[in-house]
Amino acid sequence: MMSIRLLRYSLPSFNNHQIFIGNSLFFNSCCSIPKASIRSLTKMASYSTLTSSSSSRLLFRQLFEKESSTYTYLLADVDHPQKPALLVDPVDKTSDRDLSLIKELGLKLIYAINTHVHADHVTGTGTIKSKDPSVQSIISKASCAKADLLVEPGDKIHFGDLFLEVRATPGHTAGCVTYVTGDGPNQPQPRMAFTGDALLIRGCGRTDFQGGSSEQLYKSVHSQIFTLPKDTYVYPAHDYKGFTVSTVAEEMQYNPRLTKNEETFKGIMANLNLAYPKMIDVAVPANMVCGMQDIESKAS
Ligand SMILES: N[C@@H](CCC(=O)N[C@@H](CSS)C(=O)NCC(=O)O)C(=O)O
User: How does pLDDT run across 165-222, given as a tens digit for each residue?
Assistant: 999 999 999 999 999 999 988 899 999 999 999 999 999 999 999 999 999 999 999 9
Cβ 121 under 6 angstroms from ligand 1: no
Question: Given the DSSP bridges, would you call strands 233-236 and 203-204 parallel, antiparallel or unpaired?
Answer: unpaired
pLDDT band at 51 (very low <50, low <70, confident <90, very high): very low
Probe ligand 1: pick from 91, 93, 206, max atoms within 8 Å of CB? 206
Q: Measured in angstroms, how far is the CA atom of residue 291 from the centroid of ligand 1?
A: 20
Cβ 236 under 6 angstroms from ligand 1: no
Cβ 238 under 6 angstroms from ligand 1: yes
Between CA 86 and CA 111 the distance in angstroms is: 5
Mean pLDDT of 238-243: 98
Between CA 239 and CA 217 the distance in angstroms is: 18
| pLDDT at residue 139, rounded to an integer | 98
Which of 126, 123, 145 is CA-nearest to residue 65?
123
How far is residue 55 CA from its own chain's centroid?
A: 21
Which carries the bigger pLDDT value, residue 164 or residue 7? 164
What are the distances in angstroms from CA 170 to CA 24, 75, 140, 141, 211? 34, 24, 11, 12, 9
| pLDDT at residue 6, rounded to an integer | 53
**End-to-end alpha carbon distance in the chain:** 41
Between CA 277 and CA 287 the distance in angstroms is: 14
Helix (H, G, I), strand (E, B), or coil: what is residue 40?
helix
The domain locations on the chain are: 6-299
If one looks up domain 6-299 in CATH, what number appears? 3.60.15.10
Q: Which atom of ligand 1 is nearest to the CA of 203?
A: 17
Q: Measured in angstroms, how far is the CA atom of residue 18 from the centroid of ligand 1?
A: 38
Percent above pLDDT 70 for the chain: 80
pLDDT band at 294 (very low <50, low <70, confident <90, very high): confident
Q: Measured in angstroms, how far is the CA atom of residue 122 from the centroid of ligand 1?
A: 14
User: How does pLDDT run across 128-137, given as a tens digit for each residue?
Assistant: 999 999 999 9
Q: How many CB atoms lie within 10 A of CB 51?
A: 15
Cβ 188 under 6 angstroms from ligand 1: no
Between CA 79 and CA 174 the distance in angstroms is: 36
Q: Measured in angstroms, how far is the CA atom of residue 50 from the centroid of ligand 1?
A: 25
How far is residue 1 CA from its own chain's centroid?
A: 27
What are the distances in angstroms from CA 112 to CA 79, 94, 229? 20, 13, 26
Ranges of H-type helices in 182-271: 214-220, 248-254, 262-270
Cβ 119 under 6 angstroms from ligand 1: yes
